[in-house]
A and B are shown apart, each in its own frame.
Chain A
Amino acid sequence: MAGRTKSISTKKGEAVTKYFLLIADVVLIAFFGIMRPGFLQVGNLLDILSTAALVGTMGLGASIVMTVGEMNFGVGAEATLTAAMLGWILGKGNVSVYIIGVLLVLLMAALVGVIDSCFGVIIGVPAFIATLAISKINDGFVNLLTEGKTMFYSNWPPAFKWLGQGYIGPIPVLALIFVIIALLLWFLMDKTRLGAHIQAVGNNKNCCKQVGINVTKIKIIAFIICSLVCGFAGIMASSKTSNVMNTLGSGIMMDAMASAMLGATFLRPGRYNVQGTVVAAVLTAIISNGITFCAYPDYVQNIVNGIILLLAVGYIAMTRKEGLPSVKMG
């Protein structure tokens, strides 16, 4: 049945869909610009980039695990836990130097990645279930640290806020950090051996085993990178709002994972890629910013985001018979 649709996709159609996300970005900016000219002010555009930074960073983290063919539904909780941990050790005065605190909590985030892969890769529980269970435990720890309230300490060092609210020249630090993380991950995934192996494992596990690539090791590394990046996204998010809410991570998780999947329609259809995730995260940010700007109610944003995601994954299902790594089509 579906076999017919799959063979139709032509070269020309692929070129259009390859850049569909970027085109959508431009069209939507133009659309909102016409609706509300204020939308195009530099300040607002940079603001969009800051919003995209949070979703995009977490999306990049999630996409690494998705690339090896697994799913991590714990990225939201991992982000919240890392942020809460940082807020707590800085607030309680256990650590006074901001950078050391950040390094410590990232170490902890990496540990969560190790636990994820212990169950999801080594023991062999389907990773999406393992990470879901672990995310509940992480939620528990978050509530323990925040005592169920929104966390705020007045003795947080100024550096805590700088990451999310500071500017270098006219450019928000948040956007800059996002670009740096994206460049680092792009370099990792497309230029280094590790990146090539991460992608190869998601494409054909058996082939990797046959040429002597340690599939288990690659997957564990992918989970650790994912947790590190998502943990850092949590730090960025808490810095932006100067507090740690219980819903900090879960609020951006679905958008983040959606960005990774949307991104897989960009540039190299059927494969997750850093560029695609960035462009998709920007798209989500444009939509949410634009809809707020035009004073549409919030639900419009949810519905639009959902429709775009369905269209994107539907397109992949119809054109790529093997589907996406981690989202196998039957």
Chain B
Amino acid sequence: MSNTTPLLSIKGITKRFTGITAVDHVSFDIHKNEVHALIGENGAGKSTLCKMLTGAYSIDEGHIEIDGKKVNFKGPADSMKEGINMVYQERNLIGYMTAAQNISLGTEIMKGIIMDQKAIMKRAEDVRERLGVDVPLDVPVEKLGAGAQQLVEIMRAGSTMPKLLILDEPTASLGEGEIEPFLNFVKRLTKELHISVIYITHKLEEIFTIADKVTVMADGKKTMTADIPQITQEECVRAMIRSDKIKAVEVPEKDFSELEKNKILEVQELTYDGRKHAVPFFVCKGEVVGFYGLVGAGRTETMEVISGIRMADKKEFTFDGEVITGGDSYKMIQKGMILTPELRINGIFPTLNLVENVCTLFVRKFATKIGMVKGREGRRFTEDVLKKNGTKYTSKNQLISELSGGNMQKIIIGRSVEVENLKLLTVDEPTAGLDLGAKSEIYLKIRNLADKMQKSVVFISSELEELMKVCDRMYIFYNGDVVKELKRKAFDKEAILGYALGGVGNGR
């Protein structure tokens, strides 16, 4: 171990949000000239931790030290003065400004009271040369691609020559060909310009290429810090997944020829957003069908059109033996089809309590003839739903927004299942932002619906692993169309990724 004072020392910092501890007493050091990878599942607390390092979030407990000196940041401006800069996952640029103007935003060079555009351009050119990147500086950044925008942000963060640069999932928005040059660029930042880097990611391959050290987080806690050559990928994964909380998901083998006799939903083609989409797929009774594809591949859109949420130019499909060509979501729910939305916030009423959140879906059921609400029955029903779904709550009169994401999701799915005469449930990214324990409970719930209750489930997700774990069959979407159907036995990660990236016949 080096005996020099670390550049940044994190000492037991903790952050609590209502109901959850996002970061729980985390400590580790970052040294000079080091690329320090920070990995963990979605919701493990990586971004929250880094936002505390920049002062964007206040620290509830613990503190941080820079060069051995205790610091207290009130906002990003303070941490920038100490040489800490962060590039966030979402793009933070002023679209109409040029790259040069964006780089100098907040630190504009002035000539008297006028901004000196020439000097601002000159500075940007200097930064560009120093970092050795190639980005046009004189066009509005909204006209640039995702990769170039990313570089503009790094140029801005690097323009003040920070000691520590935090990159939050920097390769998430980059295309296949852009990633490798970018990783080399990050390496050069550290080795040549002596900028230490905290590199947040969930792509394990990347960290073995560029990082010197890795810290793993799970459920807000640090599970491991290690030097990179001394550790294997498997050990990282084990640290990310705290296996004690995970429940195994069992998928019984199905006889598909038998299943296919009982198709609930059958679709060939849908026209929406002004384009015809070839989406030949079907869902049988008692099976879980996964929809995989890249973001924007049309998975959500397809099910939204079918559920009557999204406007379609033309639709025709068979549901439960009936040919359907129209109808809004209300009608489709009556027919026995419901969708839980991609964004959890769209599935709840954050300012209402649990009873109201459960019962709004059943206003007819819990209303007298003249429209008065039957309070007692609603409360009893709610209690029933909460209990059946193993929801953790303190009172049924508490606001749903006080619950954790996992418990909210249990309520959303739980009440949807209660829809009278339900045949098909679509869950859209139900596990987004949940920890692994909560995820596994959702998986069990989905399997239970299909296997025990003989309902059909369409499971939309961007996480291929979970689809492979839970589904009986899978459809892969590319550019709005279904390009491949796979049965469980034929699930193969690389092939599926190939279809999702390149469409038909491009499976590697």
Contact = CB atoms under 8 A, between A and B. Distances in A.
Interface stretch (A56-64, A143-151, A191-199, A286-294): A191-199
B350 to A, nearest CB: 17
A210 B115 contact: no
B110 interface: yes
A204 B76 contact: no
Given A1-B273, A196-B108, A200-B105, A191 B95 contact: no
Contacts of B114: 191-192
Given A191-B114, A193-B110, A193-B115, A207 B96 contact: no
Contact of A268 (B75, B96, B274): B96
Interface in A198-227: 199-200, 203-204, 206-213
A3 B80 CA distance: 39
B97 interface: yes
Nearest to A206: B92
Interface of A: 1, 3-4, 191-193, 196-197, 199-200, 203-204, 206-213, 268, 271
Contact of B115 (A191, A203, A209): A191
Interface string B48-74: 000000001000000000000000000
B322 to A, nearest CB: 26
Contacts of A196: 101, 105, 108, 115
A197 B56 CA distance: 20
A328 to B, nearest CB: 15
Contacts of A200: 94, 97, 105
B116 to A, nearest CB: 10
27 contacts: A1-B273, A191-B115, A192-B113, A192-B115, A193-B108, A193-B115, A196-B108, A197-B106, A203-B94, A204-B94, A204-B95, A206-B92, A207-B93, A207-B94, A208-B106, A209-B56, A209-B75, A209-B76, A210-B76, A210-B86, A210-B92, A211-B105, A211-B106, A211-B107, A211-B156, A212-B77, A212-B106
Contacts of A209: 56, 75-76
A169 B88 CA distance: 58
B311 interface: yes
A188 B105 CA distance: 16
Contact of A4 (B86, B113, B274): B274
Interface in B256-307: 273-274
Nearest to A203: B94
Contacts of B107: 211
A209 B107 CA distance: 13
A268 B97 CA distance: 12
Interface of B: 56, 75-77, 80, 86, 88, 90, 92-97, 101, 105-108, 110, 113-115, 156, 273-274, 311
Nearest to A201: B94
Contact of B76 (A192, A199, A212): A212
User: Chain A interface secondary structure, helix, strand, loop or mixed?
Assistant: helix
Nearest to B272: A1
Contacts of B95: 203-204
Contacts of B96: 203, 268, 271
A268 B77 CA distance: 31
Q: What are the nearest 6 A-B pairs in CB distance?
A: A212-B77, A211-B106, A207-B92, A4-B274, A193-B108, A200-B94
B343 to A, nearest CB: 14
Contacts of A212: 75-77, 80, 106
B105 A207 contact: yes
Contacts of B86: 210
A93 B273 CA distance: 68
Nearest to B105: A211
Contacts of A208: 105-106
Contacts of A3: 273
Interface-centre pick from A191, A197, A207, A208 (highest chain B CB count, 10 A): A207
B115 A213 contact: no
A213 B105 contact: yes
A206 B76 CA distance: 11
Nearest to A5: B274
A203 B115 CA distance: 19
Given A3-B273, A207-B92, A208-B106, 18 more contacts: A191-B113, A191-B114, A193-B113, A196-B108, A200-B97, A200-B105, A204-B94, A204-B95, A206-B88, A206-B90, A206-B92, A207-B105, A209-B75, A210-B92, A211-B76, A211-B107, A211-B156, A213-B105
Nearest to B81: A212
A57 B156 CA distance: 37
A271 B140 CA distance: 14
Nearest to B113: A192
Nearest to A200: B94
A204 B141 CA distance: 13
A204 B92 contact: yes
Nearest to A195: B115
Contacts of B90: 206
A4 B105 contact: no
B127 to A, nearest CB: 14
Interface-centre pick from B94, B108, B110 (highest chain A CB count, 10 A): B94
A271 B88 CA distance: 25
Contacts of A206: 88, 90, 92
A3 B313 CA distance: 13
B311 A1 contact: yes
A318 to B, nearest CB: 14
A206 B94 CA distance: 10
A200 B140 CA distance: 13
A268 B108 CA distance: 22
Nearest to A322: B95
B93 A204 contact: yes
A183 to B, nearest CB: 14
